[in-house]
């Protein structure tokens, strides 16, 4: 993780530059002006990862500038991270300084927190974890009131839970999420909540079905399921699928069928190229899909998946890479038009941004 250039006095200028950049990328598609959803200026990031750098007998939280792994930048606090992470940082550092069982060959620390106040620490080691480590880690977890995961080569020890619990409010309803250690979660909780609200509103109330690709832990699935008759959702990561199934059950959402397929595999299934045992018992022809929701990785949709989305009246697309979003829109532009777009500032003080577009058939 590289160090963001934290400067709240420049936030408005940077956000305006992102708005202009997104508008320029979407200009060839006659997109309307983007709706802009700001981030909190500080304490917005719910997860953080630090290398531990040793100087003499001390270890320090460290990050590096991009491309430079030899000149560490030390941190005692991290103002872009959540208040909970900042409160935990000095207490964790004091604990490893007082305990050789915790500090010996500790090389990386990861924090995962939630708006709801939950926290999980992951401690990574270049050595086997023994009984002395576990006893010290159990005392630490109790003292800090966190869950804790220890990782070494080939071994993972969980103290408490291997996930955090989040609560997000969308359109007046609260949704509960399990967010597993090591799995992808949206880093900026406040902006994520705004993003869910925008997607919920943009989809609108429907009487037909929704196809969702790249559903992750069900971040969007839960609120969007309330807008349609049924959802067929896909995700390839086993840990994310398990989290999504738990989240659906915890929230009493019963109109979602979740299958562990990649977007490319589902495209093959819908095109009847080949059958999949993971679709046994699912009648794809019974779905009346009116909309598709996609939240792909940075590479965007592959050409075949992009071509698949043409079949739908509405394409709701969340992107973490506006360049690949624009490339996908170029493929879709002859059949669909952009009727809404949004900028979600998930990553203040960096060039990264999240965007959303609603496309409707011409």
Tell me which residues are annotated as active site.
320, 354
Residue 285 DSSP label: G
354-361 and 314-319 strand pairing: antiparallel
Rounded Cα gap, residues 314 and 26, in angstroms? 18
Angle between helices 83-98 and 131-144 (to 10 degrees): 140
With tokens 């719910």, the residue in question is: 46
How far, in Å, are 224, 256, 313 from residue 227 at the CA level?
Answer: 5, 12, 15
Integer-rounded Cα Rg, in Å, for the chain is: 22
DSSP 135-190: HHHHHHHHHHT-EEEEEETTEEEEES-SEEEEEEEETTEEEEEEEETTS---SBHH
Q: What is residue 66's DSSP assignment?
A: T
């Amino acid at each position: 993780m590289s160090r963001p250039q934290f400067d709240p006095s420049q936030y408005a200028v940077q956000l305006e530059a992102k708005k202009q950049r997104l508008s320029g990328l979407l200009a060839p598609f006659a997109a309307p002006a983007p709706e802009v959803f700001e981030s909190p200026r500080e304490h917005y990031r719910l997860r953080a990862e630090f290398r531990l750098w040793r100087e003499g007998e001390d270890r320090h939280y460290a990050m590096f500038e991009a491309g430079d792994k030899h000149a560490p930048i030390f941190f005692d606090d991290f103002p872009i991270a959540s208040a909970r992470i900042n409160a935990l940082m000095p207490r964790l550092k004091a604990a490893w300084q007082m305990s050789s069982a915790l500090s010996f060959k500790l090389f990386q620390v990861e924090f995962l927190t939630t708006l709801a106040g939950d926290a999980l620490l992951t401690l990574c080691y270049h050595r086997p974890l023994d009984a002395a480590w576990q006893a010290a880690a159990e005392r630490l977890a109790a003292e800090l009131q966190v869950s804790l995961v220890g990782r070494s080569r080939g071994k993972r020890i969980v103290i408490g839970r291997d996930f955090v619990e989040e609560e997000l409010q969308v359109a007046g309803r609260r949704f509960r999420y399990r967010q597993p250690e090591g799995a992808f979660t949206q880093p900026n909780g406040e902006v994520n909540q705004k993003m869910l609200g925008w997607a919920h509103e943009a989809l609108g109330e429907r009487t037909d079905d929704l196809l969702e690709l790249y559903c992750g832990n069900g971040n969007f699935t839960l609120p969007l399921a309330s807008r349609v008759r049924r959802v067929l959702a896909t995700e390839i990561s086993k840990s994310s699928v398990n989290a999504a199934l738990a989240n659906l059950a915890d929230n009493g959402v019963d109109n979602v069928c979740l299958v562990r397929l990649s977007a490319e595999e589902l495209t093959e299934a819908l095109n009847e190229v080949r059958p999949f045992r993971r679709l046994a018992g699912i009648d794809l022809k019974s779905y009346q899909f009116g909309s598709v929701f996609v939240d792909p990785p940075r590479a965007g949709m592959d050409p075949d998946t992009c071509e698949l989305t043409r079949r739908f009246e509405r394409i709701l697309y969340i992107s973490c890479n506006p360049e690949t979003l624009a490339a996908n829109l170029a493929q879709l532009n002859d059949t669909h038009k952009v009727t809404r777009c949004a900028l979600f500032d998930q990553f203040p003080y960096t060039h990264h941004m999240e965007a959303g577009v609603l496309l409707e058939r011409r």
